[in-house]
Structure 1
C-alpha cells in the first residue's frame, strides 16, 4: 500500500485479505468476538461491551483500552455501524458521525467452502491521538501518517493470520 505524501485529512485506508480454509460461519464466530481481539493485538489491551450489550448488534457500543510505546495509553468508545452476520462487522471509533477511525471485517464465501476475510480500516476524519502528534509537529505530518499506516497494516496482517490459524485449527503448528 502507498501512503507517501498522504495527510490525515485524506482519510487514508489499509486493507488486508486472507483466504481461510474454514466456513464463513466459523470465521464469523472469531471476528465478531470482540473479547478475542486483545489476545491477537499488540496494541489493544481490553474491550468490554457497554449498555448491557453482550454481543455485536447495530448501534451497540464497546469500550476499548489500548497502549502504544510512542502514543501512550488511551481508551475509546466504538459504535457498531454495520452488522450483517456472517458477512460484515464494522465499528466507528469515538463519534459515529465523524469517527477517528472506522474498522471493518468483511467475509466472502468461497466455492470450496472456505472464506475470504478482509480487514479494512480508515483513519479519520475525526481527531484521534495521532492528531495531537501532528499538531506538535505539523511539518512531519506525512511521515507520522505513513508510519502509523504501516503499523496498522502490520497489525492487521498479524490479526488475520492469527484468525486464519484459529479458524483452520492450525494454531501452534508449523506452516
Structure 2
C-alpha cells in the first residue's frame, strides 16, 4: 500500500449500551487522550466548548519515532448518534507548509455508531493523507521501504483505535 492511495484502518466493537450513551462518550474530544497511546491531550479552539459541525480542536501527540507535535482538527461530519468525523491538519507546519484548510488534511478520523443487538456497534477508523505527515517524512528518507512504513503506521493506528474502543466499551458498560 502506498501513502498516495489513502491507506486506512478500522476496528469495530459491540458495546452493551444504547447509541445515545456511546455517542456522549465518543463526542467528548478529551476522552481519547485518556485512552490512546499517542494522543496526549486536546483542547477546544475558537471558544468552542462542544462537538459541533465546523468546531476546531488542537491535539497534542507523542510518538517514539516522531517526537511531539500539535495538530488542529476540524469537525467535518456530524450526524447525531451516528457519525462523527474530523479532519486533522498540520496548522503548525511540522511536516511541511502549514495547512489550515481541512481539505489539506493529513488524516481523517471517524466514529460510526449503529444500533446492534440491544446495544451499539461502534467503529473507529483512520485514513492517512492526502497531505504530508510524519509518514511522508519517513518515506522520503527511505522510499524503497514505503509499503513497510505505511504498514507500520497502520499497525500503530490500529493499536490506538483498539485501545480507544476498548476504553469506550469499559466506560459505557460501567467497568471503568
- Normalising by structure 1, we get a TM-score of 0.91
Paired position in structure 1 for 2:97: none
1:113, distance to aligned residue in structure 2 (A): 2.6
Provide, for residues 127-155 of structure 1, a one-character-per-residue CA deviation record: whole Å limited to 9, x for no partner. Answer: 11221111111111111101000111111
* 4+ residue runs over 6 A deviation: none
Match of 2:151 in 1: 146
Counterpart pick for 2:169 among 147, 155, 164: 164
State the partner residue of 1:126: 131
For 1:50 and 1:98, the matched residues in 2 are separated by: 19
Give the aligned partner of residue 98 of structure 2.
none
Map 1:1-175 onto structure 2 (within 5 A).
6-94=1-89, 95-110=101-116, 112-171=117-176
Inter-partner Cα distance in structure 2 for 1:118 and 1:68 = 23
Number of aligned pairs? 165
Distance in 1 separating the partners of 2:9 and 2:124: 8
Residue 97 of structure 1 aligns to a residue whose secondary structure is helix
Distance 1:158 1:16 in 2: 10
The CA RMSD measured in Å over matched residues stands at: 0.9
Secondary structure of 2:114's partner? strand
Q: Distance in 2 between matches of 1:7 and 1:71?
A: 20
What are the ranges of 5 or more consecutive residues in structure 1 without an aligned counterpart? 1-5
Question: 1:3 aligns to what?
Answer: none
Q: Structure 2: which 5+ runs fail to align?
A: 90-100
Q: CA deviation at 1:98?
A: 2.4
- Give the Cα–Cα distance (whole angstroms) in 2 for the partners of residues 13 and 148 of structure 1: 10
**C-alpha displacement at 1:36, in angstroms?**
1.3
